[in-house]
Structure formats: structure tokens, C-alpha cells
Amino acid sequence: MRVFVLALCAFLILPHAAEAFQDEIVVTGSRIARPEARRNREAQTVPHVHVVRRADNFLVTVEILSDTREQDPRREEVRATLQAMLEQAERSPGITVSMMGDGLVDLDPDMIGQVAITEHPRREDVSTVTLYLKTPVGESDDFDDADNRVAAFVESLQGTGRASVHPSPSYSLTLTGGADQYRNDVVRAIANDVRFLRTTFGSDYEINVATNLQERVRLTQTGPLELSIFLPYTAAIMLKQDD
């Protein structure tokens, strides 16, 4: 089983960051061994009132590397392996190969000329390209279903020459349309909770809620395939003072 990892994007200000790629938010983060530990830690940063949504896609970073001595031949090996990967993806339902451009761009074999093969920043005489394997998260999918689809696809690949394919042990999740589409849902959830508190505590208490409605909606991963969407807020309950 893949190690439970998550990652978030840029404008979302959390202990993790998230990046907005056009209309798809990619949620990523830091490695831990057990999903339960991650959920316990997230409970300290996510407010009690939040909206939970299932991710749209499961995303794994993958590198194609070649260490053939001459630069031109090794770049051709990387490109040929990429070409084979794109052709295999077209025959594999539920797998899409993507790259980062102005956004998360889905590739097909006709787009291979748009992919730049570069030299590895830390390994001499190694050419590389970084891509992303994406599979949709179905209603009945659990973590293993999504992870196994990607793993089976990687196992089906063969490198050209000395080229090889290296998937990351971590994964990300994506949310199509971004988190801001759920802003009104989050605000309504906070308002409903305040009404509940006022009803429960009665007229002898004041319920004061503070939040900055100008802030962008935030999100974080709180389950293997689940995202929590929220606005930071505080709620104070005080006994009314006698006049």
C-alpha cells in the first residue's frame, strides 16, 4: 500500500499549502505512516464546523529517468518511454497522464512535443521528465482501489533503453472547481451551528462568533480520499452580565 501522504495548494494558508491549477485544486502535503495519525493531527487545525467533500481525482507524481552517457540518446530514451506511457494510458480506462503548465494539463500522444525533457538537477548525466498519473475517485472507491489502479498502470510500463519509470510513494488529491464554490455551504454550516448554540444555551448566554468573510475558503485532507473545506472562525459563549 502507498504511504499516506498529502499535499495542498498556494493560496490556502495552512500548515500545508495548496496550488490552484486553473479550475482544479491539487491537495498535497507531508509523509506520515498511518492515516489515523494524520486525521488526529488535522483535528487540531480544522474548525468543528466544516464541509467534507470527496476528492475528484487521485494523483501520483512519476519521473522518467535515463542515465545513458550521451545527452541526445538519453533524452530520446526518455521521450520514447513517455510516448509509450501516453499510448498505454489511452488503452487504460481510468488513467490520465498530466503535466504542469499554466495548469494541470492532461496529455495525449499528439501532445508529446509540448513536454520538455530536462537534465536532472541533482544527478549528473541523467535526463528526466516529471509527470502526474491521475485516476478519478469513484463513489465506491476506497484508497486501495485508486492506488492499485495507478500501481497496475506503472507495472505495465517498460522503459526504452536505460530509461526507467519511478512513481512517488506519496499521493495527492484534486478538487475540480476549487474550494471557493463551497463558501456558501461553509457559511450556512457556521450559521446553523450558531443557531443551535443559542437554542441550547438559552437567553442567559451570549454567543459571539468572529470570522473574516473576506478570506479565501481553505481546505485540507482529513481522510484518505476526503477533503475538509472551511473558514477559520472563533465562537465564544458567555453568561450575560446583570445590568
pLDDT tens-digit profile of 116-147?
A: 999 998 889 999 999 999 999 999 999 999 99
The answer to whether residue 2 is domain-embedded is no
Q: Looking at the domain assignment, is residue 146 inside a domain?
A: yes
% of the chain at pLDDT higher than 90: 67
Q: Is pLDDT above 90 for 25? A: no
Query: Do both 164 and 112 map to the same domain?
Result: yes
Those residues whose C-beta lies under 8 Å from the C-beta of residue 195, and which sit 6 or more positions away, are: none
Residue 45 lies in a domain: yes
243 band by pLDDT with thresholds 50, 70 and 90: low
In a domain, residue 189? The reply is: yes
Same domain, 23 and 107: no
State which of 176, 198, 216 marks the end of a domain.
176
74 and 156 together in one domain: yes
* Cβ atoms of 131 and 167 closer than 8 Å: no
In a domain, 110, yes or no: yes
Which of 176, 197, 219 corresponds to the end of one domain? 176
Euclidean distance between CA atoms 78 and 132, whole angstroms: 15
Higher pLDDT, 232 or 14: 232
Mean pLDDT score, 66-79: 95
30 lies in the same domain as 68:
no
Which three cell numbers mark 221? 485532507
CATH classification at residue 100: 3.30.70.600
C-alpha cell recorded at residue 4: 499516506
pLDDT at 238: 93
* Per-residue confidence (pLDDT) for residue 137, from 0 to 100: 97
What pLDDT does residue 117 have? 94
The answer to whether residues 107 and 147 belong to one domain is yes
Inform me whether the pLDDT recorded for 5 exceeds 90: no
Say if residue 160 is in the same domain as residue 82.
yes
- pLDDT beyond 60 at 104: yes
4-27 average pLDDT score: 46
Structure confidence at residue 164 as a pLDDT band (50, 70, 90): very high
- Over residues 56-68, the mean pLDDT reads 96
The yes-or-no verdict on residue 34 having pLDDT over 70 is no
Q: Which domain holds residue 190?
A: 18-55+178-239
- Does residue 11 fall inside a structural domain? no
Q: Considering only residues 33 and 88, tell me which one the structure prediction assigns the higher pLDDT.
A: 88
| Residue 9, domain member (yes or no) | no
Instruction: Look at residues 154, 176, 198 and tell me which one is the last residue of a structural domain.
Output: 176
- In a domain, residue 76? The reply is yes
Query: Do 184 and 126 reside in the same domain of the chain?
Result: no
Q: Are residue 119 and residue 208 in the same domain, yes or no? A: no
* Confidence class for position 214, pLDDT limits 50, 70, 90: confident
Check residues 31 and 139 and name the one with the higher pLDDT: 139
Span 62-84, average pLDDT? 96
For 22-49, b/e burial (b = at least 16 CB within 10 A) is eebbbbbbeeeeeeeebbeebeeebbeb
How many domains in the chain? 2
